Structure 1
Amino acid sequence: MTPTLITFFVVLIATFTVQIEHRSEGFKQLFSLPIPKSMVYNGKLFIAALVIFITYLFFLVFVLLSGYAISLVFPEYGFLSYRPNLIFMVKVLFSSYLTTLGILAIQYFISYKTKNFIVPIGIGIVMIILGLILFRSPRFAPFMPYAYNISNFVNLDLKNPSLISWFTNYSVYSIIVFIGISIFGSRNITKSNVI
């Protein structure tokens, strides 16, 4: 799962999660329930984060199963004679997941604020392209959440087995962006009127 493709996937998941409610006028119904608006906002954001996490789990499982299936069909390749480095694979995928959380929060907020489907997708694509341009710059990459996933792969310390090495600077930046945008979005939604 390349960093660019997963970033597009996160943009699509965040946009579709909210657009379903916009199209069916579901927010009016959800906000009429006797629960806080911020709970609706954070609940849907949590579901989107969970969907992305499950996608990473499926990716890991299917990579392992495809190696096993290839070894059954083509035993001469010797896939069964090698053990996959599961710690390495989980570390890369976990760190990649953490760096996508900031993008998820930003795209989710943009999608919530605009009822149009094209605007959040367009903003996401432009920001992904900017992230691809800026990820090589150590001066600008920390300020561009859309570059975190790619920058993370470049800076991930794969030889260090300690748990703290699983969290790169970009993972921490992404978690900070996720928490900040989530709090901002929750407060913003409690002040907004449903129309």
Structure 2
Amino acid sequence: MSLLVSLRSEILKSKRTAAFYFTLIGAATVPFLILFTIASHGLPEAERTAKDPVNALFNLSSNMVGLMIFPLFIVLICTLLPQIEFKNSTWKQVLTSPQKKEDVFVAKFLNIHLMMVLFLLISHIFTWVVIIAAHFILPQYNILDHSFDAGKILSANAHIYLSGLGICALQFWIGLRSRNFIAPVAIGVACWILGSMMVFEYESTASPYFPYCFPAIRLSPRFNPQLDRVEWISFAYSILFLVVGFGDFRRRKKLK
């Protein structure tokens, strides 16, 4: 019950910040770009997309979100939420409240995951809005008359989420340790760029073991066959970084 109370407290604190609005804006970015492309240039890759426009547009959105927007969202949200306590100088108040340290730690981590799930859900909703708009902008394609493979879209979102677990736990630990907003974001963005280059540019054999490579591996012909193993590694990294992060968090007697 104490964990639920702590989680509720974290959710309420998040509502007072820009994190929720940042989630909405981030989730809308790719659908908006797709809608702009449709309105100005028609269906992306029309010859191929027109055969199965609904699933093709969802696939395009998932690929763009999974490769770029979602990893960067994780980096930023894992910095923004821990910064609430640093910004307001409330760590002493939090740690002296009748909450267990493990409840505070887990509640903050679960709150981040709720934001991640909310991001994917809102992105999905916005993509549907784009598809409905595209149906009327391009009536010749009768877009809404085509089938929708919900299972495939759900699977794609699950892969996106699982590939981000390792990054999330590591960035959460960095965010808890840093009083500076810039440093965790700079580290996360630099590692994401490095990870993408390792996969697409260098095709490094170390890619399946570097967590910032995992989002790009979904779209790599060379590494995609290893996706299931990579996602298990991502989950293992998540557990590892959480254990190490909590050990570090518990040892620190005060945070200012």
Match of 1:193 in 2: 253
Match of 2:189 in 1: 125
For these two proteins, the number of residue pairs brought into alignment is: 187
| Secondary structure of the structure 2 residue equivalent to 1:10 | helix
**Per-residue deviation, 1:68:** 2.0
TM-score in terms of structure 2 length? 0.68
- The structure, 1 or 2, with the larger RCO (C-alpha pairs under 8 Å, 6+ apart) is 1
Q: Which range moves more in the overlay, 58-67 or 10-19?
A: 58-67
Matched, 1:182 2:248: no
Matched, 1:143 2:209: yes
**Per-residue deviation, 1:149:** 0.8
CA distance in 1 between partners of 2:156 and 2:204 (Å): 21
Residues 169/153 of structure 1: CA separation in 2 closer, same or farther (3 Å cut): farther
Matched, 1:41 2:105: yes
Q: Which range moves more in the overlay, 16-25 or 167-176?
A: 167-176
Once the two structures are superposed, what CA deviation does each residue of 1:22-63 show, in whole Å capped at 9, x if it has no partner? 111122111111222121111111100110111111111221
Q: How does 1:89-100 map to 2 (within 5 A)?
A: 89-100=153-164
TM-score in terms of structure 1 length? 0.88
**Per-residue deviation, 1:172:** 1.0
Matched, 1:115 2:179: yes
Give % identity.
24
List gaps (5 residues or longer) in structure 1.
Answer: 158-164
Q: How does 1:10-25 map to 2 (within 5 A)?
A: 10-25=74-89
Name which of 119, 133, 141 aligns with 1:77.
141
- Asked if 2 retains the 8 angstrom alpha-carbon contact of 1:49 and 1:101, the reply is no
CA distance in 1 between partners of 2:155 and 2:119 (Å): 15
Match of 1:50 in 2: 114
Q: How does 1:158-173 map to 2 (within 5 A)?
A: 168-173=228-233
Match of 1:160 in 2: none
- Asked if 2 retains the 8 angstrom alpha-carbon contact of 1:101 and 1:174, the reply is yes
| Secondary structure of the structure 2 residue equivalent to 1:153 | coil
Once the two structures are superposed, what CA deviation does each residue of 1:53-87 show, in whole Å capped at 9, x if it has no partner? 11111111221232123214442221012112222
- Asked if 2 retains the 8 angstrom alpha-carbon contact of 1:11 and 1:121, the reply is yes
List gaps (5 residues or longer) in structure 2.
Answer: 1-64
| Secondary structure of the structure 2 residue equivalent to 1:183 | helix
- Asked if 2 retains the 8 angstrom alpha-carbon contact of 1:41 and 1:186, the reply is yes
**Per-residue deviation, 1:174:** 0.9
